[in-house]
Structure 1
């Protein structure tokens, strides 16, 4: 069961890293003077990565909780 906990922790950290990437990506986008259409298309990419990172992080946390319950 320790493997489930550690795998979940790794997934959670990967999700958090994805969230940090999204924050930095959007901050860099806001500094640039882009037109509205370009900004929207690039922000859509950030939103997709953000949702994926949240899903991965949630899955990892679920694995940690399940691993703790089964121990």
Structure 2
């Protein structure tokens, strides 16, 4: 049995296959944007981790009298 893709808006679920072409296009747009947000959040996590590592490396590189 195939599970039908649904989208929920304002608490109401709609089978995507039964939506108009315009509504289906908006679902596709939302899926794309959600994927990009997920990708960017992962990228941001990498940058934050790198920043922490660089800050720690800077602390280690500073003369002890300034710490």
TM-score by structure 2 length? 0.53
Larger Rg: 2
Higher relative contact order (CA 8 A, sep 6+): 1
Gaps of 5+ in 1: 1-33
Q: Deviations over 1:45-65 (max 9, x none)?
A: 100001011110011011000
Gaps of 5+ in 2: 1-23, 62-67
- Other-structure match for 2:41: 51
Please state which structure has a larger fraction of its residues in helix.
1
TM-score by structure 1 length? 0.50
- Other-structure match for 2:10: none
Structure 1 position 70, deviation (Å): 1.2
Q: Return structure 1 stretches of 4+ with deviation > 6 angstroms.
A: none
Matches within 5 A, 1:32-43: 35-43=25-33
Please state which structure has a larger fraction of its residues in strand.
2
Aligned length: 38
Alignment partners' CA distance in 1, 2:60 and 2:42: 27
